[in-house]
Structure 1
Amino acid sequence: MSAKKTVVTAVAAALLLPALTAGPALAAPRPDPKNPVGKARKQPAPPASMSTVGGSLLGKPGTQVKLGPGAPALPATLSGLSWIVADAESGEVLAAHNAHWRLPPASTLKMLFADTVLPTLPKNQVHKVKDEELEGVGAGSSLVGVKEDLDYTVHDLWLGVFLRSGNDAVHVLSAMNGGVEKTVADMQAHAEELQALDTHVVSPDGYDAPGQVSSAYDLTLFARSGLQKKDFREYCATAQAEFPGEQKPGKPREHFAIQNTNRLMTGAYGVNPYKGIAGVKNGNTTNAGATFTGVAQRGARKLLVTVMNPAEGANAVYEETAALLDWGFAAAGKVTPVGELVPPKSADTSSLGSPAQSHEQEQQAAAEQSSGGVGTALAVAGGVLIAIAGGGFVVNRRWPKGRRGRRAAHD
Structure 2
Amino acid sequence: MPQPALLRREGTQVRLRSGAPETPDVSALSWVVADAGTGEVLAAHNAHEQLPPASTLKTLFALTVLPSFPSGIQHTVSARELAGIGEGSSLVGVVEGHTYRVSDLWHGVFLNSGNDAVHVLAALNGGWTQTARQMQAKARTLGAMDTYVVSPDGYDADGQVSSAYDLAVFGRAGLRNPDFARYCSTVETAFPGNGGSTFEIANTNRLLTGADGVEPYPGLIGIKNGYTSNAGNTLVAAAHHGRRTLIVTVMNPQEGEGFEVYEEARALLDWGFDAAGHVDPVGSLDGLRPVAHEARSVLPHPAAAPPPAAPAAA
TM-score by length of 1: 0.70
Could you tell me how far apart the structure 2 residues matched to 1:357 and 1:98 are? 28
Q: Matched residue pairs, number?
A: 295
The answer as to whether partners of 1:87 and 1:93 remain within 8 angstroms in 2 is yes
Tell me the C-alpha RMSD between the 2 structures: 1.4
Task: Choose from 311, 315, 320 the match for 2:254.
Answer: 311
Q: CA deviation at 1:228?
A: 1.0
Q: CA deviation at 1:75?
A: 1.1
- Larger relative contact order (C-alpha < 8 A, sep ≥ 6)? 2
The corresponding residue for 1:64 is 13
Q: CA deviation at 1:167?
A: 0.2
**CA distance 1:254–1:156, shift in 2 (3 Å):** same
The corresponding residue for 2:264 is 320
Q: CA deviation at 1:172?
A: 0.1
Task: Choose from 136, 141, 154 the match for 1:206.
Answer: 154
CA deviations over 1:178-237 (Å, ceiling 9, x no partner):
100110010001001111110000000000000000000000111111111110010001
Q: CA deviation at 1:55?
A: 1.4
Could you tell me how far apart the structure 1 residues matched to 2:58 and 2:68 are? 15
The corresponding residue for 1:397 is none
Could you tell me how far apart the structure 2 residues matched to 1:182 and 1:121 are? 16
Query: After TM superposition, which residue ranges in structure 1, 4 or more long, deviate above 2 angstroms?
Result: 343-348
Q: CA deviation at 1:355?
A: 2.1
Unaligned runs of 5+ in 2: 299-314
- Structure 1 letter corresponding to 2:260: A
Could you tell me how far apart the structure 1 residues matched to 2:73 and 2:65 are? 14
Could you tell me how far apart the structure 1 residues matched to 2:183 and 2:290 are? 27
The corresponding residue for 2:88 is 140
Could you tell me how far apart the structure 2 residues matched to 1:229 and 1:345 are? 20
The corresponding residue for 1:84 is 32
The answer as to whether partners of 1:193 and 1:346 remain within 8 angstroms in 2 is no
The answer as to whether partners of 1:198 and 1:218 remain within 8 angstroms in 2 is yes
The answer as to whether partners of 1:347 and 1:355 remain within 8 angstroms in 2 is no
Could you tell me how far apart the structure 2 residues matched to 1:127 and 1:337 are? 46
Counterpart secondary structure, 2:51: coil
- Structure 1 letter corresponding to 2:30: S
Task: Choose from 84, 88, 93 the match for 2:41.
Answer: 93
Unaligned runs of 5+ in 1: 1-52, 248-252, 349-353, 359-411
The answer as to whether partners of 1:54 and 1:341 remain within 8 angstroms in 2 is no
Task: Choose from 309, 319, 337 the match for 2:281.
Answer: 337
Could you tell me how far apart the structure 2 residues matched to 1:123 and 1:270 are? 33
Could you tell me how far apart the structure 2 residues matched to 1:325 and 1:134 are? 38
- Structure 1 letter corresponding to 2:153: D
Rg comparison, structure with higher value: 1
The answer as to whether partners of 2:138 and 2:295 remain within 8 angstroms in 1 is no
The corresponding residue for 2:242 is 299
Could you tell me how far apart the structure 2 residues matched to 1:281 and 1:54 are? 28
Could you tell me how far apart the structure 1 residues matched to 2:75 and 2:3 are? 41
Could you tell me how far apart the structure 1 residues matched to 2:292 and 2:237 are? 24
The corresponding residue for 1:172 is 120
Q: CA deviation at 1:345?
A: 2.5
Could you tell me how far apart the structure 2 residues matched to 1:346 and 1:131 are? 43
